[in-house]
Amino acid sequence: NDAALVIAHSFGTRTEDFVNMMNEEAHQLQLNDTHFSDPSGASSGNAYSSAADLTRLATYAMQLSDFAQVVGQQTHQIAATFSHHAYLWRNTKSLFSASSGINGVLVIDDGGAGACAVFSAQRNDRLLIGAELHAQSSNKLISDVKKILEVGFAQ
């Protein structure tokens, strides 16, 4: 959530304007089942998405080298600037150890939405990207992601 706000503020626009830009980009990417109501997508307002749209968005985002590098790290540091203080983000989720080759993208453990993940993994020359929404627990989510990737890589 902090990272999303830093990115929004770096555009020099109001948060509401940045969210409008996000929704326009979602439209351009044909994410027809997605609507953002804040930069992080974490609000309980009228934000929504589907697993298909989240997978499509992750597929697009993983083609951006900076994005792929950041989400694949256990930690990421941002230096302080005039508009924000320094940030050190740590990935404390255990999804990275769920399956070999996993390299991101997002894990949310929200009581309202359940445990959710948009994930990617690479083994050899094969990249798999997927999503699971509304898992009963973080442990179930991790188990499911591991199974999904094992089946996907076995194909």
Contacts of 128 (CB under 8 A, 6+ apart): 120, 121, 122, 149, 152, 153
**What's the pLDDT score for residue 7?**
83
Spans of the chain, pLDDT less than 50: none
**What's the pLDDT score for residue 96?**
63
Overall pTM surpassing 0.75 (yes/no): yes
Contacts of 79 (CB under 8 A, 6+ apart): 86
**What's the pLDDT score for residue 91?**
65
Helix (H) or strand (E) holding 127: strand 126-135
- Taking a C-beta distance cutoff of 8 angstroms, is the pair 117, 108 a contact? yes
